[in-house]
Amino acid sequence: MTDRYRQSDWLVDRLRNVLRFYYPAGIDDEYGGYIAQLDEETGEVYDAESKHLVATTRYVVNFCLGDRFDGDGPWLGAAERGVEFLRESHYDPETGGYDWLLEGSETVDRRRVCYGHAFVLLAYARAHEAGIDAAREGIEETYGLLLEHFWEPAYHLCKSEFDGDFDDASDYRGQNANMHTCEAMLAAHEATGEDRYLDRAREIAHALTVDLAAEDDGRLWEHYTEEWDHDMDYNRDKPADLFRPWGYQPGHHIEWAKLLAILDRYADVDWAIDRAEELFEIAIEDGWDDEYGGFYYTFDRDGEPIVEDKYGWPVAEGIGAAAALYERTGDEGYLDWYDRLWDYAQDYLSAPGGNFYTKLTRENEPVETDEGPAVEPGYHPIGACFEGLRSLSGDT
């Protein structure tokens, strides 16, 4: 086993390869913004009009990181067009919210989704670091909106979803939206140096990974009631749901491990790194396929797989978690997992164009691209490169 995955040049080149798959093919000169619906095998556009809020914001993040590590590329201009599209097309000035789904530049779904607004905050944070105009204002506005509409101070967590006017909130409460809100708060702290964002990230992380997890043997359940009680029956009949599957997700356990290691980097807390290591171990112990490699999509209370398909994003998050945990602990076992996960990603997840396949069978055969609105324009593999660069090589 070599250390090539830890070298800055290799990581920047891998990051650039992902960007090159989506650029310029993902630039929409007709409507503005980006196109995320590219066939993973061929790179051909199969839907030029669907514009998901999560895809737009993730594109902005990706191009900002591209500019940070590959400043000679066209990435800054590509990021600026995404911020402009956010402001001019997704943003609703009457409510201050961001529309969930567009066709071209026309809104087709006005729902106000915490998950999406978390990524709006993240996009503005990375854009501010890149020096993009209006991004600092966007951080302030989006943080205020999250506190005004989604934040539930009694639980130190966020509601999941409203209608387009912020009048009616869904009863559903979700782990995933709060995890990404924590991620965005950490990025806002990195971008501004302000402790209020770090404090909010710490609140969310403790509420979910300590308080609620203590009710379930340290594991993280995905779905909750309006009062933040575990809803163990939600989507029981939809175990393969893309956003809200029934079961435990090893990918989210290991993603939280990464976020808690990052939190430990900035905050004076005595629980984050311990919980990060425990969650990493749960993901490996119950979620890793010892025969074929990769993480199962979900597992049950006995640690047995429910959905055996493999997704690219948990492996990418595992790479980032292993890098950050090594940086925080010095335990070389995390370096071993970092290399092992990159080996798997290079062998099975890397598509011909340099991007990651979204989904594989248990035996690691690529699954044909789903033709619905896409939300993952390389965000997770670029994040893996980013965390490797700053945790292992010191490139920030």
Domains by residue range for the chain, with CATH = 4-392 (1.50.10.10)
| Residue 289 CB partners (closer than 8 Å, separation 6+) | 295, 296, 305, 308, 310, 362
Stretch (H or E) spanning 185:
helix 175-192
Intervals of the chain under pLDDT 70: 1-2
pTM: 0.98
Which stretches within 26-174 are classed as H helix? 53-69, 75-85, 114-129, 135-145
Q: What would you measure as the largest C-alpha separation in the chain, in angstroms?
A: 56
CA–CA distance, 25 with 21 (Å, rounded to integer): 7
Dihedral angle sign, alpha carbons of residues 360, 361, 365, 366: negative
Cα 97 to Cα 110, 245, 298, 373, 382, distances in angstroms: 9, 26, 32, 20, 27
Which tokens in the block code for residue 322? 């292993």
In the annotation, is 52 catalytic?
A: no
Radius of gyration of the chain (CA): 19
Looking at residue 316, its amino acid is A
Residue 394 has what pLDDT? 76
- pLDDT at residue 130, rounded to an integer: 98
CB–CB of 373/308 below 8 Å? no
**Contact criterion met (CB below 8 Å) for 189 and 197:** yes
Which residue among 180, 189, 253, 380 is the active-site one? 380
CA 38 to chain CA mean position, Å = 19
* 252 a catalytic residue: yes
What burial letters (b/e) apply to 103-113, b meaning 16+ CB within 10 Å?
Answer: ebbebeebbbb
User: Which phi and psi angles does 295 have, rounded to 5°?
Assistant: -100, 130
User: Per DSSP, what are the bridge partners of residue 165?
Assistant: none
Query: Which residue carries 């171990």 as its tokens?
Result: 281
Q: Could you report the per-residue pLDDT of 181-196, keeping only the tens digit for each?
A: 999 999 999 999 999 9
Query: Could you tell me the two tokens for 270?
Result: 């005595």
Alpha helices in 220-271 (DSSP H): 250-266
The model's pLDDT over 306-360, given as tens digits with 9 standing for 90+, comes to: 999 999 999 999 999 999 999 999 999 999 999 999 999 999 999 999 999 999 9
Q: What is the pLDDT of residue 372?
A: 84
φ, ψ dihedrals at 9, nearest 5°: -60, -40
Nearest partner of 171 among 224, 97, 245, 109, judged by Cα: 224
Choosing from 90, 189, 252, 253, the catalytic residue is 252
